[in-house]
Structure 1
Amino acid sequence: MFVGQLPYLAFHSTVTSATIVGLNTEIQKRIQGNQDWMSSRCFVFDGRLSHETILKGPVGILFADPGSEIGEILTKEAGPSRLSSNPTWAPELIATCFEIQTANPEQYPKILSSSFPFNQLTPAKKIQDDDRLIHVLRKLIESPEETVNIEELAHEIGMSESWLQHEFKNVVGLPIRAFRKWFRIKTAVIALKQGATLADAALSAGFYDQAHFTNVFREIFGISPSIVFKKGESIRWYIQNEEIDKMLKVL
């Protein structure tokens, strides 16, 4: 989750479903290929949508982890068009963001769990019953720097490549390569929040170099990480691996 001030966000696709709220003013958003701008206090969109955003004040953005309950809620809320506006829970999300703005980081989990009920994540039950998918997830997460060879992964668990591709997307909610992209970005962001340089964060998450990380970050968020994480910015982040941790504790 992100709460703070951002400039214009260029065309991007977030990979996972997300929602954005303007804390003081409406947000303007335009879908790629459409000349018309839409205005709303809150938008919900799924990760396949390519869009750009104009912001005129502080915002709150919640990104869903793959396989999470909140991801399913946001995707359903986005609807067939992959984009919707002003859900009934928007005022609650806005209130939560205001509370986070003045709270200490250690208070964030309690704030989210008490004032933002649908953030209660539960593990994907189907994945708990399949040790093969747990093995694949663990390999992707524990070795983000390794190149993914899906054919070799499928061979390791004794299944066909097509089965692995289909079942992974069915259970986790994203194709394997999209999940890996999301998790590597998340790993790098956690490193940045812990004080790492852009270059070190990029390498620790398996990117070739800082430029590679910057390009992928911009594809997902529509902005350079150097702008988001520059010194002196009063931007609040809360990053949680609860969903993934629960999946991996099954073994």
Structure 2
Amino acid sequence: MFVGKLPYLAFHSTVTSATIVSLDTEIKKRVKGNKQWLSSRCFVFDGTLSHETVFNGSVGILFADPGSEIGEILTKEAGPNKLSANPTWALELITTCLEIQTANPELYPAILNRSFPFNRLAPAQKIQDNERLIYVMRKLIKNPEETTNVEELALEIGMSESWLQHEFKNAVGLPLRAFRKWFRIKTAVIAIKEGASLADAALGAGFYDQAHFTNVFREIFGISPSLIFQKGESIRWYIQNEEIEKILRAS
């Protein structure tokens, strides 16, 4: 989650579903290939949508982990057009972000748990009951630096590459390679939170170097990581790590 004053967000695809809310004025968003700008206090969008965003003042952006309950909620809210505006819970999200803006970082989890109803990151049923997919997901999450390809993963679980690709996307909601990209980014961000430099975080998460990490981060979020993680209080950010085991938990 990011809360604060962000610059213009260039065209990007967030990989996983997300929502953005303005804390001051309306947001302008445009889908790639469409000249028309849309305006709203809150947008919900699917991770495959390529779009750009313009706003004045502060915003809050919440990203969902693939396979989580919140991810399913946001994807459903985005609808068949992969983009929707002003959900019924928008005002509650605005209140949550305003509270985070002035709170100490150690209070962020409690604020989200108390005031944001979608912070119930439970495992999706399609994943719970599939031990082979759980094995693949666990390996991708726990070993982000490894470069094991899809064919090798399929051999490890005794299934064809095409089966793995199909079942993974059906259960998780996005392709396996996109899933790995998301958790490599998340692994790097967790390392930064724990004090690592951008360069060390990038290498530890499986990126070639800091430039590679920066390029992928910009593709997903539309902004350079150096602007998000610079010293100071201009942008508040929070990442939750404990739900990984919930996502992977077998029934």
TM-score by length of 1: 0.96
Aligned length: 251
Q: CA RMSD in A?
A: 1.4
Shift of 1:233: 4.1
- 1:154 corresponds to: 154
Q: 1:247 to 1:39 in 2, by over 3 A?
A: closer
How far, CA to CA, are the matches of 2:78 and 2:128 in structure 1?
Answer: 27
Find the aligned partners of 1:244 and 1:208 in 2 and give their Cα distance.
24
Distance 2:124 2:49 in 1: 24
* Partner residue, 1:36: 36
Structure 2 equivalent of residue 15 of structure 1: 15
Q: Which residue does the alignment assign to 1:188?
A: 188
Query: How many Å apart are 1:63 and its aligned residue?
Result: 0.3
- Rounded to whole Å, the distance in 2 between the matches of 1:14 and 1:35 is 20
Deviations 1:129-167 (A, max 9, x none): 222111111111111111131111111111111111111
Q: Which amino acid aligns with 1:40?
A: S
Report the equivalent of 1:92.
92
Q: What does residue 49 of structure 1 align with?
A: 49
Residue 250 of structure 1 and its aligned partner are, at CA, apart by 3.6
TM superposition score normalised by structure 2: 0.96
Does the 8 Å CA contact 1:70/1:118 hold for their aligned counterparts? yes
Q: What is the rounded CA distance, in whole Å, between the counterparts of 2:193 and 2:9 in structure 1?
A: 21
- 1:67·1:243 contact (CA, 8 Å) conserved in 2? no
**Structure 1: which 5+ residue stretches go unaligned?**
none
1:141 aligned counterpart, secondary structure: helix
Q: Which moved more, 1:121-130 or 1:192-201?
A: 121-130
1:165 maps to 165
Equivalent position of 1:176 in the other structure: 176
In the alignment, the residues of structure 2 paired with residue 150 and residue 237 of structure 1 have an alpha-carbon distance, to the nearest angstrom, of: 33
Structure 1 consecutive aligned stretches of length 4 or more whose deviation exceeds 4 Å:
none
Inter-partner Cα distance in structure 2 for 1:145 and 1:22 = 36
Task: After superposition, give the CA deviation of every residue in 1:197-240 in whole Å (9 maximum; x if it has no partner).
Answer: 11111101100001100110010001111111122243211211
- Looking at structure 2, the residues matched to 28 and 172 of structure 1 have their Cα atoms a distance apart, in angstroms, of 30
Is residue 143 of structure 1 aligned with residue 143 of structure 2?
yes
Shift of 1:247: 3.4
Q: State the distance in 1 between where 2:229 and 2:164 align.
A: 36
Who is 1:67 aligned against? 67
Gaps of 5+ in 2: none
Q: Distance in 1 between matches of 2:60 and 2:231?
A: 20
Equivalent residue number for residue 228 of structure 2: 228
Deviation of residue 249 (structure 1)? Answer: 4.5
The structure-2 alpha-carbon separation of the partners of 1:231 and 1:106, relative to structure 1 and needing over 3 Å to count, comes to closer
